[in-house]
Structure 1
Amino acid sequence: MDWQTITSTWGFNLAFLVGTLLAVYALYLTFKSRPVSRLAYDTTASTIVGEQQEPFRRSLKITFEGVDVPRATFANIFIWNDGNQTIRRSDITPKKPLRLTLPEGEKFLQYNLASMADEAMDASMSLSEDGSLTVSFEYIEPGQGFVCEILHTGESSSLNLIGVLISAKSPVKKSRVPVYTLNYWAWMLTLVGVAAGWSSADIFTAGYFEGMTSPTAWFAYGSIALLAVIIIGSVRAYLTLRKPHKMDFGKKAEASPLRTFTDWTVVSDTTPSPPEHR
């Protein structure tokens, strides 16, 4: 059974495919436009100096403000509104506020608010009694956020943001640069695009080739289908990869751990637990 027979028997023609594509796209827009309240964060960290440097463990001594510490890790924390609804200070639950935490035994050494998308956001950090850093702000618009710089004694992957927001629940850790993956919607668009390409090729080449059995016809159909996949895949990748460029964290003066810490807040009680030697 060739493609012409299928389209004539089942009514599965180009108009049907276009209508299906538009319906799927309308459902996608409806799904994307639903109210979503979500706070996201991402971290980039590196251990400036630490005991894990095995060759120097016995001869290396690290101190901060005169207190011995196991390591010094510099971290950037990016916090932003990943939804489409404004997040306000009143959305932060009093009993479970937003806090930056480290594993037990690790301590914060210094912290600083590096930048924010808008000064009216009024983002701030303060040291809590339990040793965590409480994070607060007046509001965060969708696509906006702020950046915190922190020096601590934990490992590079040990910093987390916890707490509960009304409607948004707990903060979500995710990459600021999402990786393009061929998810459900990409598969749907690709399959419909291939079918539409083949249908168009069958219509446009009718009378020129000897139906589906001709090698030339197969080449023409395959070329158009491949072109459809490339176009749809490119559009999908563009729409996905352009998202990070819409995020606004403000402008940082410098993003280097080697700069002077004149504007940083020093944690006075720097008494981390002795490191475990394994």
Structure 2
Amino acid sequence: MDKIAEGIQKLSDNSLFNGALALIGIILALIGIYLTIRSIKKKIPAYYFESRSLNFSGEYSRVKDLEFIFKYKNEPVDKLTFTRILFINKGRDIIDNSDIIPDRPFRISLKSNFKVLDAQILYSRNQSMNNLKIEWSDNDIFILFDYLAQLEGLVIQIVHTGTEKDICLKGFLKGSIIPIRYKDMALQYLVC
């Protein structure tokens, strides 16, 4: 027993051994903090969008004898913009329909002097399971769902008369959580 106590005493007097133990302790503490942060469940509604516009009254009007006439419901259209929007739950917790503030639902809004001509869901991983759908009027597209699990969402294509600057996503979750707009190209493959 004295040999064991003597061995422990020698190790505790060794500064290299003490430094290694301190380093291991710090590493384990950092791993614990990292795993704790990762395990926190959050609801993070996020979106990314990209637009492509066709302007029929600008550069094409300079070409002699070339005329484009586009109409929507018998009204002339000078500009068409195709916008694809990815709406996704980037959080670890499920976004339930009851989490949405009733008078502030998730919707894509266009400024009042522009119109939505068409809107449709291009892709959704579990569209029928979580009852994903959209409803639209002249200036708003409402995103309706029962729930969105982690990394679930949809890609919506909107044809409208505005530009990318004229469109925005609105809506709130309880707790004043608003959707985060991602501008990075990492999500581009989902909307192109």
Shift of 1:63: 2.5
Cα distance in 2 between the residues matched to 1:64 and 1:152: 11
- Please state if 1:15 is matched with 2:21: yes
> Under a length normalisation based on structure 2, what TM-score does the superposition of the two structures give?
0.76
> RMSD of the alignment, in Å?
2.7
- What's 2:8 paired with? none
Please tell me whether residue 103 in structure 1 is matched to residue 111 in structure 2.
yes
Structure 2 gap ranges (5+): 1-13
Aligned to 2:47: 41
Identify, as 1 or 2, the structure richer in strand. Answer: 2
1:131-180 CA-partner distances (Å, limit 9, x unpaired): 311111011111111111111111134322101112462111114755xx
1:20, distance to aligned residue in structure 2 (A): 1.3
Once the two structures are aligned, what percentage of the paired residues are identical? Answer: 25
Stretches of 4+ moved more than 6 A in 1? none
Q: Does 1:29 align with 2:38?
A: no
Write the distance in 2 (CA, Å) between the matches of 1:157 and 1:80: 21
Residue 75 of structure 1 pairs with residue 83 of structure 2? yes
Structure 1 pair 34/110, CA: closer, same or farther in 2 (3 Å)? same
- Give a deviation string over 1:170-200, Cα, whole Å, max 9, x none: 111114755xxxxxxxxxxxxxxxxxxxxxx
Q: Give the conservation status (yes or no) of the 8 Å contact 2:101–2:173.
A: yes
Query: How does the TM-score come out when normalised to structure 1?
Result: 0.54
Query: Which amino acid in the other structure matches residue 55 of structure 2?
Result: G
Mapped to 1, the partners of 2:94 and 2:155 lie a distance apart of 18
Distance 1:138 1:146 in 2: 13
Aligned length: 171
Gaps of 5+ in 1: 1-6, 179-243, 250-254, 257-278
Counterpart-to-counterpart distance in 1, 2:144 and 2:184? 21
Report what 2:6 is aligned to. none
SS in 2 for 1:25: helix
| Separation of aligned partners in 2, 1:135 and 1:89 | 11
Higher helix fraction: Structure 1 or Structure 2?
Answer: 1
Check the 8 A contact 2:111/2:139 in 1, yes or no: no
